Structure 1
Amino acid sequence: MKSIKFYYVFIMLITLSCKNNNADSQVFESKEYSHDTIDIVDYNGLQPYLETEDDRIHVVNFWAMWCAPCVAELPYLQQVASQNPDIDMLLVSMDFTNDVETRLKPFLKDNNIKSRVILMDDPDANYWINQIDPSWSGAIPFTIIFNKDKRLYLEQSFENEEDFQNQINQFYN
């Protein structure tokens, strides 16, 4: 009897995990993340986050803990995302992979970062930066805001919430 219950629970878990099997629901699953695990991706792993077929606003922000303007704008990004439930926020850390456990996770916790964070680890920066935006110099912070109809590439830091919200507002018109 125990083995039947086990298989029933196992089948239910598989069924539930397969529900909503489209690319956008898999990529942007939740508004808040615990950061117990942080995915480390190369450009091929990042690419699905850069595409959408829906009307929601997606924000992909490239940043690092060692980048002062990046760290300064994180609270503005978090605040605007929390005030706009239709925004899917992804923070792409450019930090070192060996710092994930010792520095990145504690940083995210200490700064109450709730957005999804992945770590970019692809040594061929000349290739993937050009693939993302040929006019991007590679400097961070760098933010992409997009939906299925519009895309903005912003090689700048946001000075305050209003500065970021003004960019988001372009998608509501």
Structure 2
Amino acid sequence: MIKVAALVALGVVPVVAQEIQPITIAELLAARSDSTRVYVRNFWATWCKPCIEELPIFDTLARRMPEITIELVSLDAPADSMRLRAFWQRRGFGAVHVFHLVERLRTEQIDAISPAWSGAIPMTIIERGAQRIVHEGELTLPEAIELIEQVRK
């Protein structure tokens, strides 16, 4: 407790990892962004090394740009929810919203999420209203910021 108090006194707020929320494909498809806010939705998995390497970027974006919404959607197998939870608790990212898809994705569902998506991960959708950019592959922080700025125009 003393360590936490000392950190707070120094202006450092300890981060508590977000709770992982289960989500179905229907809920995922129904979740649409409003026209004024930028949404960044990343599809990833714990077994995907490039996915893991880019996770800190999304936490940084959420802290630097609190006006945008960052959603991370795990594609880990539905049966792996406990392993996913343990993985996420070790990371300690608290500024992002984390979801676990509780169903396996099929090709037609991938197409419904984005016809531009091959199904490979990591994959990130950055959108605001009707403006949408789909990026397959790992993102760097400067690339992510540039894509966010593009949908803001």
| TM-score normalised by L of structure 1 | 0.72
Indicate the residue corresponding to 1:68 in structure 2. 49
Indicate the residue corresponding to 2:18 in structure 1. 34
CA distance in 2, matches of 1:149, 1:134: 15
Shift of 1:123: 3.3
Paired residue for 1:131, among 112, 123, 131? Answer: 112
Q: Does 1:85 align with 2:66?
A: yes
Q: Is the 8 A contact 1:91 1:116 kept in 2?
A: yes
1:161 corresponds to which letter in structure 2?
L
Indicate the residue corresponding to 2:77 in structure 1. 96
Task: Quickly say closer, same or farther: Cα 1:111–1:33, change in 2 above 3 A.
Answer: closer
Q: Is the 8 A contact 2:128 2:152 kept in 1?
A: no
**How far does the alpha carbon of each residue in 1:55-90 deviate from its partner, in whole angstroms, 9 at most, with x for none?**
110011000000000000010111012100111011
Q: Is the 8 A contact 1:40 1:97 kept in 2?
A: no
User: After TM superposition, where is structure 1 displaced by more than 3 Å over at least 4 residues in a row?
Assistant: none
Report the RMSD for the aligned CA atoms in angstroms. 1.7
Paired residue for 1:113, among 87, 90, 93? Answer: 93
1:139 corresponds to which letter in structure 2?
A
CA distance in 1, matches of 2:39, 2:69: 5
Shift of 1:143: 0.6
Q: Sequence identity of aligned pairs in percent? A: 31
Q: Does 1:154 align with 2:135?
A: yes
| TM-score normalised by L of structure 2 | 0.81
CA distance in 1, matches of 2:46, 2:104: 19
Number of aligned residue pairs: give it.
137
Q: Is the 8 A contact 2:36 2:128 kept in 1?
A: yes
CA distance in 2, matches of 1:135, 1:109: 32
CA distance in 2, matches of 1:34, 1:117: 7
User: Runs of 5+ in structure 1 lacking a partner?
Assistant: 1-31
CA distance in 2, matches of 1:133, 1:172: 20
Paired residue for 1:44, among 22, 26, 33? Answer: 26
2:102 corresponds to which letter in structure 1?
D
Q: Is the 8 A contact 1:43 1:120 kept in 2?
A: yes
